[in-house]
Chain A
Amino acid sequence: GDSVTQMEGPVTLSEEAFLTINCTYTATGYPSLFWYVQYPGEGLQLLLKATKADDKGSNKGFEATYRKETTSFHLEKGSVQVSDSAVYFCALSAGVQGAQKLVFGQGTRLTINP
């Protein structure tokens, strides 16, 4: 079945460092890909998405490119801030319910130190 694998955390960086969180997937067909973020005490929020190969999703300085050849959707940010500390989930959706039925990775906890 469909699955998502994320790089294991936790990840700790200093402010202004470059961030990469790896995400790879297996799926039949052509899924849509998502990154969700969960800040402390809050629900998951959609950070960015890409719906087809070579699409780049971006938001709040974060980017991820849908790479069909490597089945990857790595999350990157050039200069992280303390406020980016959160748990990040990579996810895919496939099938008739589309974005409503998601398959998640295990999440990566990111801590940014000032």
Chain B
Amino acid sequence: GAVVSQHPSWVICKSGTSVKIECRSLDFQATTMFWYRQFPKQSLMLMATSNEGSKATYEQGVEKDKFLINHASLTLSTLTVTSAHPEDSSFYICSAPDYEKLFFGSGTQLSVL
């Protein structure tokens, strides 16, 4: 089946720094990718829909200036957490559809000190 690669799988950063997470579709093209966030013991929450060549669509309550999404090619979407703070520590996961199926990356655990 299709493969979505997410990198890095975990990252620790200092408060105030920015962190970039990459999501690649390895053997298919994706005009749309989805970014989710999961806090401990809570649901995976959709943050935004990344659209190749145009602006991302953010879910209600998600700060677009804090979570910058760039979908510059048909196989790559990036999520940048800007000026990260400890409350941004979470598990971030991306997914991409191939026909009617969704394929997920393995996730990124972000810890902000």
- Our verdict on whether A and B bind, yes or no, reads yes
The answer to whether residues A101 and B106 also contact, given A43-B4, A44-B93, A46-B101 and a CB cut-off of 8 A, is: no
Number of interface residues of B (CB under 8 A): 25
Q: Is A99 interfacial (CB-CB < 8 Å)?
A: yes
Number of interface residues of A (CB under 8 A): 22
Cα of A98 to Cα of B43 in the assembled complex, Å = 19
Contact of A104 with B44 in the complex, beta carbons under 8 Å: yes
The answer to whether residues A104 and B43 also contact, given A43-B105, A45-B104, A98-B100 and a CB cut-off of 8 A, is: yes
Contact of A102 with B102 in the complex, beta carbons under 8 Å: yes
Contact bitstring A30-48, B, C-beta under 8 A = 1, else 0: 0000001010011111100
Query: Which residues does A use to contact B, with CB under 8 Å?
Result: 3-4, 8, 36, 38, 41-46, 89, 98-107
Query: Which residues does B use to contact A, with CB under 8 Å?
Result: 4, 6, 9, 32, 34, 36, 38, 41-46, 49, 93, 95, 97, 100-107
